[in-house]
Amino acid sequence: MAKVRVGLVGCGFSAGLHIHGYHKLAPERCQVVAVCGVPKSDAEKFAAEHHIPNVFGGFDEMLAGVEVDAVDLAVPNYLHAPFIIQAAKAGKHVFCEKPLTGYFGEPDTPKDEHVGGHPKPKMLERVIEECNRVEKALKSSGIKFGYAENWVHAPGFQKVWRLAAQAKGTILRIEAEESHSGSHAAYAKQWRLSGGGSLMVKGSHPLGAALELKAREGRLKFGKPILPASVMCEVGHLTWMEAFKKEKKEYLRTGWQDVEDWGVIVVKFEDGSVAEVSAADTTLGGVHNYVEVYLSNARLRANLVPNDACVAYAPEPDIFGDEYITEKIETKGGWTFPSPDEDWFQGYYQEIADFVDAIIEDRQPLASLELAKNVMIVLYAAYVSAEEGRRVEVTDLLQSPA
């Protein structure tokens, strides 16, 4: 295919990240020809700002109203699986934001019910069913599926992997975290829209990075991925603490309704190695995203955000005026780590370029459906572990349907 025509589904925060990626590509390779959103007026505003010729008020209208080769799903989590299946049936390549799917309640759950208290084994069962439905739809359509896991495209992660591959040592332990002072989006506060709390919304990134590293190590050494065998997990509601609630000044976002604002997962892999993955909406000082890899013969660390590509000091917060420093930082005063190009360091341009290249070159994108599925299953097995206070085996759950 010479030029890929993309329809962008959603016009919010992540759509903003994606459109910058598409605009970095040569116009002969790719064009975003349409955008849709709810309400349509938001999509109209986005289209005017980013020079997108066609605007729609929903996904159905977009599919019916314009010729696209691929769709980019930058919509809330509960829409991912149904939209992937719909796109696959329409024969459109799909690039989908993380997470692949989630548990958002039962078909008969009242729309405004808090579902975070539903039994976690039931959630895990539903999520596996949904992953299988998505896989079936994608396999029967033969389209390309790109999992928008920007961490595995981040230059720091890529370098860590190349060094690990050269070192050839055993990856013994991985430590990875994504955290900040709280998600901006209202949907992140309700399980029925987000499918979980900090672990789901943020932790899916470091978990994806850890699973990808062990999978690559296995493919390189043994011709097959090293998979997770079991998980243990703890979650917390730190902003529900009485001591916190009594404080007068709030620097952290609050209002988490039925979702955790902190969590940690310990993954044990089938070769005996471990990954410690944490996520929080209770971390000050800007976004804190890193992965550290402890090998038998090396130690590696990728600082996605912050990193010291640029370091600044100002005795007063207003000295740097309107110049951007880094995402979710509380003050521009004192020592800071201004990012010269946060989207590049986080892999946002690279994930879009890979998706478009994959379509043109007729290959699967780098971040695969297998990774997307495994992240979901490990994550919901972790929620079972936290609820029941026990280790949960995942080996049998990760096998693909017949």
Q: Point out which residues bind ligand NAD (CB under 6 A).
A: 9-15, 36-38, 42, 58-59, 74-77, 79, 97-98, 148, 150, 185
**Nearest-CB residue for ligand NAD:** 12
Nearer to ligand NAD among residue 97 and residue 212 (C-beta):
97
Cα(192)–Cα(113) distance, rounded to whole angstroms?
8
Nearer to ligand NAD among residue 218 and residue 306 (C-beta):
306
Least gap, CB of 10 to ligand NAD (angstroms): 3
Gyration radius from the chain CA atoms: 21
Nearer to ligand NAD among residue 104 and residue 269 (C-beta):
104
Cα(12)–Cα(124) distance, rounded to whole angstroms?
29
Cα(53)–Cα(33) distance, rounded to whole angstroms?
6
Nearer to ligand NAD among residue 287 and residue 377 (C-beta):
287
Query: Which segments of 140-227 are extended strands (E)?
Result: 145-148, 171-179
Nearer to ligand NAD among residue 239 and residue 289 (C-beta):
289
Least gap, CB of 201 to ligand NAD (angstroms): 6
Burial class of residue 251, CB neighbours in 10 A (0-12, 13-18, 19+): exposed
DSSP string, 284-306: -SS-EEEEEEEESS-EEEEEEES
Least gap, CB of 299 to ligand NAD (angstroms): 26
Least gap, CB of 311 to ligand NAD (angstroms): 24
Nearer to ligand NAD among residue 201 and residue 227 (C-beta):
201
Q: Are strands 392-393 and 228-236 parallel, antiparallel or unpaired?
A: antiparallel
A 10 A CB-CB count for 109 gives 13
Least gap, CB of 188 to ligand NAD (angstroms): 8
Least gap, CB of 9 to ligand NAD (angstroms): 5
